[in-house]
């Protein structure tokens, strides 16, 4: 009788353990199902972003060739190639030779960061911004800007075409150089001021006529009497206010001689 009761007790304990195990498994399964749903939702969200953004989103193998493994639809709009023409190929096949030299060390930094993480378990900063020229389908060099990072066992880059911005910057730089050249070589005395009429720059002709170097008068107000006679200061201020609306020319007296000054 006692043996039978003991067997029942053991069986009951086993049933309790089994039920507990089943409950744990059901909990794990429910948690896994919930995780899978969240993952599917995240993947759908990322897919929608990738397919609708104007920037190209690309994934690459984690090696020094960085071959394309995924390219978002906007990749075709940016570089002109069908996506199938790029998949499996290295972006370095299309990047300007001079820019490759700058990008290879950055790629090595990604590899180094990945190795350090594997060895130490610590995360290292890996987000980097790169600028380079990329040959499009028509054979023209386009300026691209990419932000890259490590994503699991791949490299992720978000890239945009900044060619128009780059050309505008280059055109502005050329105009600035032309302005500087004309400013320095002008036969007239030229003064460049800020919105409060404080001197920012003068040309060599100004120094010849008035004797001041830039170091002596930079930051001073053009109307503090340095180039005007006392009785002409107020008139000069009025003319300077006029000049603030655009370049302006007026004459002053220096060493009993008339001197022409251009303000802008």
- The Cα 125–Cα 149 span in angstroms is 9
- The Cα 196–Cα 240 span in angstroms is 10
* Mean confidence (pLDDT) of the chain: 77
Q: Higher pLDDT residue, 7 or 204?
A: 204
**pTM of structure:** 0.62
Q: What is the mean pLDDT of residues 151-171?
A: 90
**Can you give the pLDDT at residue 131?**
93
On the question of pLDDT at 54 being above 90, the answer is: no
- The Cα 263–Cα 191 span in angstroms is 5
The CATH code of domain 185-263 reads 3.30.450.20
On the question of pLDDT at 233 being above 60, the answer is: no
**Can you give the pLDDT at residue 28?**
58
Q: Higher pLDDT residue, 119 or 133?
A: 133
* 131 membership: H or E segment, kind and range: strand 128-135
**Can you give the pLDDT at residue 9?**
60
**Can you give the pLDDT at residue 12?**
57
Domain ranges of the chain: 53-167, 185-263
On the question of pLDDT at 76 being above 80, the answer is: yes
**Can you give the pLDDT at residue 224?**
76
Q: Please, which pLDDT band fits residue 29 given cuts at 50, 70 and 90?
A: low
Phi, psi (deg, nearest 5) at residue 220: -75, 155
Minimum mean pLDDT range among 47-56, 79-88, 105-114, 237-246: 237-246
Q: Do domains 53-167 and 185-263 have the same CATH topology?
A: yes
- The Cα 215–Cα 200 span in angstroms is 10
Q: What is the mean pLDDT of residues 76-85?
A: 92
* CATH (one of 3.40.50.11900, 3.30.390.30, 3.30.70.270, 3.30.450.20) for 53-167: 3.30.450.20
**Can you give the pLDDT at residue 69?**
93
**Can you give the pLDDT at residue 253?**
46
């Amino acid at each position: 009788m006692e043996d039978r009761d003991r067997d029942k007790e053991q069986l009951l304990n086993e049933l309790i353990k089994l039920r507990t195990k089943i409950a744990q498994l059901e909990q794990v399964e429910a948690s896994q199902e919930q995780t899978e749903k969240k993952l599917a939702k995240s993947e759908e969200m990322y897919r929608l972003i990738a397919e609708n953004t104007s920037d190209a989103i690309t994934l690459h193998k984690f090696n020094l060739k960085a071959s394309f493994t995924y390219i978002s639809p906007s990749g075709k709009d940016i570089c002109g190639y069908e996506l199938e023409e790029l998949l499996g190929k290295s972006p370095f096949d299309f990047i300007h030779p001079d820019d490759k030299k700058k990008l290879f060390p950055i790629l090595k930094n990604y590899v180094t960061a990945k190795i350090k993480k594997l060895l130490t378990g610590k995360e290292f900063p890996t987000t980097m911004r790169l600028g380079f020229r990329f040959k499009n389908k028509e054979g023209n060099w386009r300026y691209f800007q990419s932000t890259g990072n490590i994503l699991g066992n791949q490299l992720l880059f978000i890239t945009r075409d900044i060619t128009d911005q780059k050309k505008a910057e280059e055109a502005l730089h050329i105009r600035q150089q032309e302005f500087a050249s004309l400013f320095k070589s002008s036969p007239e005395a030229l003064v460049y001021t800020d919105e409060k009429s404080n001197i920012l720059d003068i040309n060599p002709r100004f120094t010849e006529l008035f004797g001041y170097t830039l170091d002596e008068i930079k930051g001073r107000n053009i109307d503090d009497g340095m180039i005007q006679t006392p009785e002409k200061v107020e008139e000069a201020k009025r003319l300077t206010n006029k000049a603030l609306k655009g370049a302006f020319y007026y004459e002053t007296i220096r060493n009993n001689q008339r001197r022409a000054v251009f303000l802008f």
